[in-house]
């Protein structure tokens, strides 16, 4: 499969990392770099493309102003830093886009704004309205009120969630690496850049540095998690080095990057929401028959589940894994973890005898399931 051309996309989310936007040593905004990126954004916008920005940098900017110590910050310190830095960050975007004739609109979201369905729909409507008005939404996590348990903590997954929520057809992650390598390049000099990933297999996950854990954070693993959210939700994703001037133009000109492709089928809004579950609470390991059955549109029955992991409750999102360890998709489970473990591998007609109540015949119903590209 070849890399798609940048011209074909109509709605694009551009995620900008803190290290690109803020000079770490001085804690100051890198104005020249931002201006060049804004030129790229302006070129897209002028062609009629809807552009959304997910911008980090609030904490990085605020910590300098507040003279907070170097190194990891305590939660309250990052909250304070974000409160100070977000003002300057939003102003910088409003100025740089404004000078090019675009209107910026700030949106700050928490994890609950995307995980709770009613709030998700509300945030989605606001994004939609801003874009109807041709404004450029500039999104960040609302770090001042996000606490440890309810925070993304990284803007890669937040950007993927925003992209699927906005129905974007492309997510661009601008980072300090030009894409996914066959092995971590700083450890292995012969590692090669992978230009196109048609499907996120177990191999791809391990290239990102060990078997991905659903709770892993930071670096390439988080980017792979973002790619899963994006591609299952119907959005292509590309990782590219943002440290060059005009990084979007460089992608358009065929510069080095990694594309993660989504299947061509349009995805329903509800399935997009399921696919984007940011904190799946467990994992179901399926046998070959069940993996094949759900890929042909069937529900997942307990009989096809080999093993159950995690401490989920009924209605929580869980990851569905094939026998080779690859993620097939995500779904909302009809049973609590203990009950799911009890009926795993058993026939649906035994459920009542095993659990003492007659629950659903399906462990995950097909309507509650979102699958990745084949
Ligand atoms: N939301 C954080 C900030 O604006 C950044 C998170 C990230 O770097 O991914 O500072």
Q: What is the CATH number of the domain that holds 13?
A: 3.40.1160.10
Kindly state the tokens that stand for 267. 């995805």
- Candidate from 153, 216, 220 with most ligand 1 atoms within 8 A of CB, to mutate: 153
Q: What is the CATH number of the domain that holds 345?
A: 2.30.130.10
**Domains identified in the chain, total number:** 2
CB 65 within 8 A of CB 27: yes
Shared-domain flag, residues 231 and 290: no
Look at 48-52, 182-186, 292-296, 301-305 and tell me which has the smallest mean pLDDT.
182-186
State the number of CA atoms in the 13 A half-sphere of 186 facing the CB: 7
CA 331 to CA 306: how far, in whole Å? 16
| Domain contains 277 | yes
Shared-domain flag, residues 23 and 138: yes
In angstroms, what is the span from residue 258 Cα to ligand 1's centroid? 22
Local confidence band at 198 (pLDDT 50, 70, 90 cut-offs):
very high
**What is the pLDDT, as a whole number, of residue 266?**
60
In angstroms, what is the span from residue 57 Cα to ligand 1's centroid? 6
Last residue of a domain, one of 264, 281, 308: 264
Residue bearing the CA closest to ligand 1, atom 5: 56
| Domain contains 1 | no
Shared-domain flag, residues 282 and 196: no
CA 224 to CA 98: how far, in whole Å? 33
Atom of ligand 1 nearest to the CA of 56: 4
With 80 as the cut, is the pLDDT of residue 212 above it? no
Atom of ligand 1 nearest to the CA of 59: 10
In angstroms, what is the span from residue 283 Cα to ligand 1's centroid? 28
With 50 as the cut, is the pLDDT of residue 211 above it? no
pLDDT, mean of residues 263-269: 67
| Domain contains 20 | yes
Shared-domain flag, residues 259 and 286: no
Last residue of a domain, one of 245, 264, 283: 264
With 70 as the cut, is the pLDDT of residue 319 above it? yes
In angstroms, what is the span from residue 58 Cα to ligand 1's centroid? 7
pLDDT, mean of residues 69-94: 93
Instruction: Identify the residues whose C-beta falls under 6 Å from ligand 1.
Output: 17-18, 56-60, 82, 140-141, 143, 154-155
Last residue of a domain, one of 226, 244, 264: 264
pLDDT, mean of residues 13-29: 89
In angstroms, what is the span from residue 54 Cα to ligand 1's centroid? 9
- For the stretch 233-263, pLDDT in tens is 889 999 999 999 999 999 999 999 999 999 8
pLDDT, mean of residues 289-310: 95
CB 259 within 8 A of CB 231: no
Average confidence score pLDDT of the chain = 90
Q: Which domain holds residue 162?
A: 6-264
Residue bearing the CA closest to ligand 1, atom 6: 154
Shared-domain flag, residues 326 and 215: no
Local confidence band at 335 (pLDDT 50, 70, 90 cut-offs):
very high
Total-model pTM: 0.83
In angstroms, what is the span from residue 119 Cα to ligand 1's centroid? 21
**What is the pLDDT, as a whole number, of residue 259?**
97
Kindly state the tokens that stand for 288. 């070959």
Helices (H), 66-208: 75-98, 111-115, 117-132, 155-165, 202-207
């Amino acid at each position: 499969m070849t890399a798609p051309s940048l011209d074909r996309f109509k709605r694009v989310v551009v995620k900008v990392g803190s290290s690109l936007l803020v000079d770490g040593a001085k804690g100051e905004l890198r104005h020249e770099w931002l201006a060049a990126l804004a030129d790229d954004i302006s070129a897209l916008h002028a062609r009629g493309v809807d552009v959304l920005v997910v911008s980090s940098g609030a904490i990085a900017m605020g910590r300098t102003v507040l003279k907070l110590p170097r190194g990891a910050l305590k939660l309250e310190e990052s909250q304070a830093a974000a409160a100070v830095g977000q003002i300057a960050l939003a102003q910088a975007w409003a100025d740089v886009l404004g000078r090019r004739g675009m209107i910026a609109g700030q949106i700050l979201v928490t994890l609950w704004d995307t995980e709770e369905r009613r709030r998700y729909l509300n945030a989605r409507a606001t994004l939609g309205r801003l874009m109807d008005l041709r404004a450029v939404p500039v999104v960040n996590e609302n770090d001042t009120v996000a606490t440890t348990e309810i925070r993304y903590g990284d803007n890669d997954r937040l950007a993927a969630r925003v992209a699927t929520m906005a129905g974007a057809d492309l997510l661009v992650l601008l980072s300090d690496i030009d894409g996914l390598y066959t092995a971590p390049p700083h450890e292995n000099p012969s590692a090669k850049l992978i230009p196109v990933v048609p499907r996120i297999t177990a191999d791809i996950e391990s290239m990102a540095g060990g078997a991905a854990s659903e709770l892993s954070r930071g670096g390439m693993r988080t980017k792979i998690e973002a790619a899963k959210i994006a591609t299952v939700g119907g959005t292509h994703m590309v990782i590219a080095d943002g440290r060059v001037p005009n990084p979007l133009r460089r992608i358009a000109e065929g510069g080095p990057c990694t594309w993660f492709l989504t299947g061509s089928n349009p995805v329903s809004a509800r399935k997009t929401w399921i696919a984007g579950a940011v904190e799946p609470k467990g994992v179901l390991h399926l046998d070959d028959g069940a993996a094949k059955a759900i890929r042909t549109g069937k529900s997942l029955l307990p009989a096809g589940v080999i093993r159950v992991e995690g401490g989920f409750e009924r209605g929580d999102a869980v990851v569905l894994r094939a026998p080779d360890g690859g993620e097939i998709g995500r779904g909302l489970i009809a049973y609590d973890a203990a009950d799911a473990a009890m009926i795993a591998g058993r026939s649906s007609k035994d459920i009542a005898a095993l659990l003492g109540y007659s629950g659903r015949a399906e462990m995950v119903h097909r309507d509650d399931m979102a699958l990745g590209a084949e």
